[in-house]
């Protein structure tokens, strides 16, 4: 879309009526039940994703200086709690990014003068444009986020590209003003701007650098595959490569043998949730979505039928990649994820290839699948 200068696609519904369930009474009842249960619960995303920084720091998945370390010394000044604290004096606040959303995970960030700066400033952005580039302040990250919005760039990919550029000697780590200048150069079409705008892999190749943390050309997000190895299995076997929203598994102590099933379950429930229009942060499980389908179409969707529908999504994605030229032999982490050990336990991504490949083998409809909630 960005290459074609396309910012968004809008669909005008005109006078079309809102879709309703075939069993309207049952479908409406399920909607109300889910909403009430969520609002009565802990609402883990009520302050947005940016407040995930402390947890990521503890898990050694808050990468620093192009992922050579798993923790940042600037976690305190990058923590989204500082954003929440700014609301009282500056304005801004939490809001729903689309009409009717009850999660309200999106923050609206104002500058010191109370003027709108950006929305939403999320954990992934703070991690890749902040910690990974050794930029110390969330306020500088907010500026970078705004600049990425203005030129239509993904903040994960851009932060990773800047970190590769810094790591290869192009500029000093932590140079926030230099990073802002480069993002402005993207709009101007300079050679440097084009390189960074093309992402981490293009930047690493152009610079001849050895540390390029990407999978299938897509930059690894905040959630690091070294402490979170099952998430690494997802990165290697999901359609887009390094995509945490495809099937995040936050379980740093998992045994190799359990990783393929955990990754597969997470990939399937996330695909089902995406295909069904649920917000991932409602953390619904497959059983709940199955009940919605039954009410919406007014026909029973058995567990077996519903499971097969989810599996078909994954198979279609894998087939697309196969036709695009990707092979199972390409399911490998970049060497830096194997060589650069992080944390006191010196973890690296060391999941054997044959274990990774088991994620392509259909596990079947176990209770563990139906109990898995969407997360990303």
The single residue listed with the structure tokens 């196969």 is 322
373 touches 284 (CB < 8 A):
yes
Confidence class for position 7, pLDDT limits 50, 70, 90: confident
Residue 1 reports pLDDT greater than 90: no
Query: What mean pLDDT is reported for the chain?
Result: 96
The single residue listed with the structure tokens 């030129």 is 151
pLDDT tens profile 123-169: 999 999 999 999 999 999 999 999 999 999 999 999 999 999 999 99
Q: What is the pLDDT of residue 99?
A: 87
Residue 372 reports pLDDT greater than 90: no
Q: What is the pLDDT of residue 130?
A: 98
Q: What is the pLDDT of residue 97?
A: 86
Residue 14 reports pLDDT greater than 80: yes
Residue 118 reports pLDDT greater than 80: yes
Q: What is the pLDDT of residue 91?
A: 98
Q: Please report which helix (H) or strand (E) contains residue 154, including its range.
A: none
Residue 8 reports pLDDT greater than 90: no
- Number of DSSP helices (H) and strands (E) in the chain, helices first: 17, 5
Please state, in angstroms and as integers, the Cα–Cα distance from residue 268 to each residue in 18, 103, 148, 238, 242, following that order.
28, 22, 31, 10, 16
Q: What is the pLDDT of residue 166?
A: 98
pLDDT tens profile 348-365: 999 999 999 999 999 998
Residue 3 reports pLDDT greater than 90: no
**Region(s) of the chain under CATH 1.10.599.10:** 223-376
**Region(s) of the chain under CATH 1.10.569.10:** 44-222
Q: How far apart are CA 65 and CA 280, in angstroms?
A: 30
Q: Which CATH architecture has domain 223-376?
A: Orthogonal Bundle (1.10)
Give the 3-state DSSP-derived string for 66-79, with helices as H, strands as E and coil as C.
Answer: CCCECCCCCHHHHC
Residue 50 reports pLDDT greater than 80: yes
pLDDT tens profile 313-347: 999 999 999 999 999 999 999 999 999 999 999 99
Which range, of 3-12, 143-152, 225-234, 294-303, averages the lowest pLDDT? 3-12
- How big is the CA angle at 282 (ends 279 and 285), to the nearest 5 degrees? 100
Residue 284 reports pLDDT greater than 90: yes
Q: How far apart are CA 244 and CA 247, in angstroms?
A: 6
Stated pTM of the model: 0.94
User: HSE (CB half, 13 Å, CA atoms) of 342?
Assistant: 28
- Residues, the chain: 376
144 touches 103 (CB < 8 A):
no
pLDDT tens profile 51-90: 999 999 999 999 999 999 999 999 999 999 999 999 999 9
Which range, of 12-16, 39-43, 147-151, 180-184, averages the lowest pLDDT? 12-16
Fold of the domain spanning 44-222: 1.10.569
Q: What is the pLDDT of residue 208?
A: 98
Q: What is the pLDDT of residue 98?
A: 87
Confidence class for position 376, pLDDT limits 50, 70, 90: confident
Q: How far apart are CA 179 and CA 109, in angstroms?
A: 20
Q: Taking residues 181-191, what's their average pLDDT?
A: 97
Confidence class for position 220, pLDDT limits 50, 70, 90: very high
């Amino acid at each position: 879309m960005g290459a074609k200068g396309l910012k968004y696609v809008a669909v005008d519904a005109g006078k079309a009526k809102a879709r309703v369930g075939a069993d309207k009474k049952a479908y409406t009842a399920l909607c109300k039940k889910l909403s009430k249960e969520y609002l009565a619960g802990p609402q883990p995303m009520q302050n947005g994703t940016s407040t995930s920084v402390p947890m990521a720091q503890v898990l050694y998945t808050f990468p620093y200086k192009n992922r050579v370390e798993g923790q940042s010394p600037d976690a305190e000044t990058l923590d989204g709690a500082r954003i929440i604290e700014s609301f009282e004096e500056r304005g801004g606040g939490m809001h729903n990014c689309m009409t009717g959303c009850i999660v309200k995970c999106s923050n609206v960030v104002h500058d010191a003068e109370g003027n709108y700066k950006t929305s939403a400033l999320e954990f992934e952005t703070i991690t890749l444009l902040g910690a990974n580039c050794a930029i110390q302040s969330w306020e500088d990250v907010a500026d970078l986020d705004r600049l990425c919005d203005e030129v239509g760039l993904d903040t994960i990919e851009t932060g990773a590209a800047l970190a590769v550029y810094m790591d290869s000697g192009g500029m000093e780590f932590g140079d926030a003003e230099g990073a802002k200048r480069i993002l402005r150069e993207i709009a101007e079409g300079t050679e440097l701007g084009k390189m960074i705008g093309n992402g981490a892999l293009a930047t690493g190749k152009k610079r001849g650098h050895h540390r390029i943390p990407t999978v299938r050309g897509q930059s690894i997000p905040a959630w690091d595959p070294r402490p979170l190895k099952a998430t690494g299995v997802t990165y290697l076997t999901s359609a887009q490569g390094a995509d945490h929203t495809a099937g995040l598994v936050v379980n740093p102590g998992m045994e190799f043998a359990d990783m393929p099933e955990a990754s597969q379950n997470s990939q399937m429930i996330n695909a089902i949730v995406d295909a069904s229009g649920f917000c991932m942060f409602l953390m619904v499980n497959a059983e709940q979505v199955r009940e919605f389908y039954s009410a919406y179409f007014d026909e029973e969707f058995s567990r077996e039928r519903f499971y097969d529908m989810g599996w078909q999504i994954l198979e279609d994605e894998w087939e697309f990649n196969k036709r695009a030229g990707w092979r199972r032999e390409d399911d490998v982490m970049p060497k830096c994820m194997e060589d650069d050990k992080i944390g006191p336990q010196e973890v690296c991504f060391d999941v054997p290839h044959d274990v990774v490949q088991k994620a392509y083998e259909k596990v079947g409809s176990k209770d563990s699948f139906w109990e898995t909630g969407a997360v990303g």
